[in-house]
Structure 1
């Protein structure tokens, strides 16, 4: 046998000694990939786009979505120009392509797939995270046999102990394919809806002389519709005076204030909400009750408890942060993402769940101790936590693919956090600590008096035991509740004297403008705004308009495209936004259709609705809407309205380009966009 050179011999020995790659972990993003690698055997050998660990396994990652839908003109060159006669755009064989700048990482994964044994899907634990990795595996031509053997790694907490536990609980990826199908249906439906309707109504708008692009999306447009209608109601509102009459009933502990309840005989002087419109009637009743006996007809006293609010979902966190600190939804999401990925101080932030698994209770001492160190304002609250309490948040049956957002057990100096990150961490930590405080207890009193034949009602609510409410501290008015007057103990039949009265002059108020917090609340509680009564009941069981991961992006998109603007804390529609809603069919501007979609997509994720019928019905609906646009008259709502200036990066003033619905969750790039050349 011929001798080999030392270099060649070393290489051969290395190849012989190197363990085979049994597992290839594909994470959703580099930070998650590094967290997985950190708990796998050492030594680690970092490479461009992946990490090789000590046992030969490799960890690679996507960078958000590596793939995106191709443009319409890549299916057929005729779509390069926007023409009504070419609509609706239909797709028989869907195509994806590498996002700009992502081809290199896609090539890394392709190479590793050829060398790997078992694949481990490590996307985020939600519908979009499931699709994000599944679509890469499918796009790169992995065989059906290997797909069937792929494992699923579900990580909601980037701390090493949590990652190790997750690695010990790998599950078959095939169990989660319905999530991927649901996300795929949503992505394709959004593409079809946005591409077709944006083109159809932009072309219709041009007939009215409008030069901008009418960006239509199945979520963004109903959200814009909510704001436009609220603004219109406010502008058309005519204030009306009304009056309230309180009897002042003498008592040794202080006067009791009881509100007059007009009888049916007074209906002619009441509005539809039962408010008194005639001051003379109030004055007449006030004169009649002066110095008259006030007999107690009903005396009801009871003590009620109020349990701690559940830990946060993303939307609940965004709403509270907007109320308390004025942070926008996108700012809260960015802070939460940094706290999760960068600082590892909280669990997975894009959660739509507000419950925790029972086995997480074992970590409570470590988490509470970390809060005490990490966030000095809560040190005292942490020391007062009763870890023996078992609140309603610990409920395995209500935990979905991910649990509520809570702090981790990691100890770190919050000096490394920005001011906004510290505020968001403080909210999450406080909400978690509340689970280990007793219920607040209130004394409720309800008294009904009869005075000169009229009925007067006094209500009182007094905080007896603060419980978890002690953690609210100096809260803004949005968090504090009026407790009302303190009422004495009376018995039915007891008679006091009405010593006087007070008439309050009031004015009806217009509906309040949406704020970031109330618009998010509207999106999560969308059942209140739908027109179809049959749909309301269904929607109360679903996630609302949009998803936890997309709501912040939807709002920012509407601001960026110049359809919404901020006036202080108020959110208003611009003239272009109002014109757009006026030009569209009503069905596109209400949340009914979108909410019905979300309901069906959720059913699809649970294998109760099939992909095919959903898409067929959608294509038929789009064809009908396009035909309606084709035959419609030019919309007068857009006449004379200038195209909005699109807010670009760093405040640039680019004109609105294509604009179709939505962004994929937090990946920082448009899910799909119409061709720029055709938008002119």
Structure 2
């Protein structure tokens, strides 16, 4: 008898539905007609034990206890799902064969692996465990996945990498949160000061941006336009390109700050001859943008509809689990397996039925086009988020669900439209010794851009000129503009910053590592990280903008620089990636972490955090329905110890436990 262990009940039901019937629902599992059983976790059934489980003395928060480093790690059942763990204990003993059906990512791999280990499954049965990878809950996709089971042993390095990150996040969050909270009390800050490998650099980004906005002083700068007339009577404009001789009147971005200089150029060129030095017309094309991964979807939904990252994730989960209209949503991949191309007709048909606004676009799709999105070498455990071949009745989706589905469906349909073809034209002209450039782009065939309602660029077409042609500069014009402050973060731009965190890192080697990894956080956790910082009062939403609170700023200023910056994530990801590729060792990673942790705690203990003196502890906000898969992953100590070392509570009231891993 086989026992399939799914990550969630929705996946378990999808598996059971394609196994031989009849299916019978039992307590904690489904019995199939052939005797096989399908059971499930409910997200995490286990969580890291709290520090006091290792030593009762740790129940009180005292600086001399730090760093807290378990000799032997302990997991404990989550109270609300203990009965499901009991059911799995019985089923794993009865089963002849286990099939791991966790979600197809690093976290999903560990989630089921740790349950199998915790239940004491014999080594022989564990070695024979198979792995089922499902990214689409519809019956045809589940059947195909069941035909392609792999040995679970192939995924051991992935599980070890996830375990290392989980434990490291626990150590980092538990110890630094306690250290900073205790130090905060020294200056009268009576609240929790939560620190985490991911959440703290995200907060640091916002603090840095807010301060740049506040310190910004707008300055005028000047551009010069030459208004030109050809012999055939055609008019266009070209922009002046300052020479090196003008450098002392320019800022670091090359903008001219002297009105006198700009006016002198404009006066000098008026009524003078212009000669074409270079004339280029280059045809080019741009293929359709790739299908979405979660971050790119969240960014576009925020821009288009003002949706928060968490709202997008919640809508995706409903579309995947409840409606089965999209594939696995927590994907970090933007490519598709080649075999998926054969399902294009059915998927496009489902889009027509589900989103009437896209019916015309679906009718115009050419399924004979097979572009860059279909690339097996770019697909690992899961592929891009796309619609499934299942349809839904118009009006059956909520407002957010319908909007997110339409975005996903439109992006998919673009793959069956030709490339956007255009011509880029550039003219370089010399007027009174000065260089002027005119550029324009003309669309020849909008291709996939028609799905965005864009058939042209709105740019005026430049005249066809040749090198040596002479024309007249009717007049020069000075345009006065003002430098603009950096823009405040929004959900979209903060997600983009977390995904492209490499550009905020100075060290070239670390930038390279971050460009090759997930960035800061993962596809599954970024939305939760932002919501967590808002909930804890370190970030505040003002309309679409996201700003730091006084407590958030004080927290950042109280920390050593290496904790504020994303560089640590690059170091970790490099080691964790090597572990997943069997090139790194768990022991080396954890030893190095423990050493750096001891050093950081020493730095925090060396001085009182004056940046928090006089700052009120923020009131805790509701999380706005945020559902974080990592709750329960690496413990919950960052949420507040019951009594601190001085007998005072860590926060005004007992708080719900929060996860440290990934977001803590």
Q: With structure 1 as the length reference, what TM-score do the two structures score?
A: 0.93
Name the SS for the 2:61 alignment partner: coil
Is residue 357 from structure 1 mapped to residue 357 from structure 2 by the alignment?
Answer: no
Q: Is 1:339–2:325 an aligned residue pair? A: no
Q: CA deviation digits over 1:73-94, x for unaligned, max 9?
A: 1100111111111111011100
Inter-partner Cα distance in structure 1 for 2:351 and 2:330: 21
Structure 2 match to 1:256 = 236
1:534 shift after superposition:
2.1
1:316 equivalenced with 2:296 (yes/no): yes
Secondary structure in 2 matching 1:388: coil
**Match among 402, 414, 418 for residue 382 of structure 2:** 402
Match of 2:112 in 1: 133
Q: Does 1:37 align with 2:37?
A: no
* 3-state SS, counterpart of residue 415 of structure 1: coil
Give the deviation of 1:535 after TM superposition: 1.1
1:612 matched residue in structure 2: 587
Shift of 1:676: 3.9
Show the counterpart of 2:472.
497
Q: Does 1:83 align with 2:62?
A: yes
Deviation at 1:665? 5.0
Gaps in structure 1 of 5+ consecutive residues: 1-21, 475-479, 652-662
In structure 1, which of residues 292, 295, 301 is the aligned counterpart of residue 275 of structure 2?
295
- Paired residues of 2:210 and 2:547 also in contact (CA < 8 A): yes
Corresponding pairs, count: 642
Q: Which residue matches 2:460? A: 485
1:453 equivalenced with 2:433 (yes/no): yes
2:591 & 2:346 partners in 1: Cα distance? 52
In structure 2, distance between residues paired with 1:45 and 1:105: 17
Cα 1:266–1:206 shift into 2, 3 Å: same
Match of 2:656 in 1: none
Partner of 1:659: none
Alpha-carbon distance in 1 for matches of 2:235, 2:419:
31
1:545 pairs with 500, 505, 520, which one? 520
Secondary structure at the aligned position of 2:423 is classed as strand
In 2, Cα distance between the equivalents of 1:129 and 1:402? 12
Give SS of 2:79's match: coil
Find 1:421's aligned residue among 395, 401, 405: 401
Does the 8 A contact of 1:463 with 1:483 survive in 2?
Answer: no
Question: 2: CA distance between counterparts of 1:182 and 1:472?
Answer: 41
Task: Identify which of 547, 565, 570 aligns with 1:595.
Answer: 570
Residue number in structure 1 paired with 2:199 = 220
Preserved CA contact (<8 Å) 1:67 1:99? yes
1:437 to 417, 420, 433: 417
Equivalent-residue separation in structure 2 for 1:327 and 1:532 (angstroms): 34
The answer as to whether partners of 1:247 and 1:257 remain within 8 angstroms in 2 is yes
Alpha-carbon distance in structure 2 between the residues aligned to 1:224 and 1:610: 31
CA contact (8 A) 2:281 2:426 kept: yes
Indicate conservation of the 8 Å contact 1:315/1:520, yes or no: yes
Please give the secondary structure, in 1, of the residue aligned with 2:80. Answer: coil
**Aligned-residue offset at 1:283:** 1.0
Shift of 1:486: 1.6
Question: How far 1:664 sits from its partner (Å)?
Answer: 9.2
Q: Is 1:468 matched up with 2:443?
A: no
Q: Distance in 2 between matches of 1:295 and 1:650?
A: 62
Structure 1 contact 295–496 (Cα < 8 Å) conserved: yes
In the alignment, what sits opposite 1:204? 183
**CA offsets 1:189-237 (integer angstroms, 9 cap, x no match):** 0100000000011111111211111100000000000000000111111
DSSP 3-state at the match of 1:446: strand
In the alignment, what sits opposite 2:661? none
Equivalent in 31, 49, 52 of residue 52 of structure 1: 31
Structure 2 unaligned blocks of 5 or more: 644-649, 652-664
Match of 1:672 among 635, 639, 642: 635
Q: How many angstroms apart in 2 are the aligned matches of 1:174 and 1:253?
A: 75
Q: Counterpart of 2:155 in 1: which secondary structure?
A: helix
Query: CA–CA distance in 2 between the matches of 1:574 and 1:504?
Result: 38
Q: Aligned with 1:51: secondary structure?
A: strand
Counterparts of 1:210 and 1:561, CA distance in 2: 15
Matches for 1:525-544 after TM superposition, within 5 Å: 525-544=500-519
* Displacement of 1:484: 3.6
SS of equivalent residue, structure 1 residue 211:
coil
State the distance in 2 between where 1:326 and 1:364 align: 30
Equivalent in the alignment of 2:482: 507
CA distance in 1, matches of 2:331, 2:313: 11
Partner residue, 2:660 = none
User: How much has 1:596 moved relative to structure 2?
Assistant: 2.2
Separation in structure 2 between the aligned mates of residue 670 and residue 328 of structure 1, nearest angstrom = 24
Does the CA-based 8 Å contact 1:322-1:328 persist in structure 2? yes
Task: State the partner residue of 1:10.
Answer: none
- The corresponding residue for 1:266 is 246
Q: Which digits, 9 at most, give the CA deviation of each residue in 1:630-680, with x for residues without a partner?
A: 22x2122111000011113679xxxxxxxxxxx995366574211541324
How many angstroms apart in 1 are the aligned matches of 2:182 and 2:442? 61
Instruction: Indicate the RMSD between aligned Cα atoms, in angstroms.
Output: 1.5
Displacement of 1:530 in angstroms is 1.1
DSSP-derived class of the 2:205 partner = helix
Deviation at 1:380, TM superposition (A): 0.5
Q: Summarize the alignment of residues 104-183 of structure 1 with structure 2, pairs less than 5 Å apart.
A: 104-183=83-162
Aligned to 1:555, which of 516, 520, 530? Answer: 530
The 1:649–1:489 alpha-carbon spacing in structure 2 relative to 1, beyond 3 Å, is closer
**Maintained 8 Å contact 2:238/2:437:** yes
Contact 2:532–2:623, Cα closer than 8 Å, also in 1: no
3-state SS of 2:104 partner: coil
Partner of 1:17: none
Give 1:483 shift: 5.5
CA contact (8 A) 2:535 2:623 kept: no
Conservation of the 8 A alpha-carbon contact between 1:243 and 1:505: yes
Matched, 1:637 2:611: yes
- What's the secondary structure of 2:22's corresponding residue? coil
Classify the secondary structure of the residue corresponding to 1:501.
strand
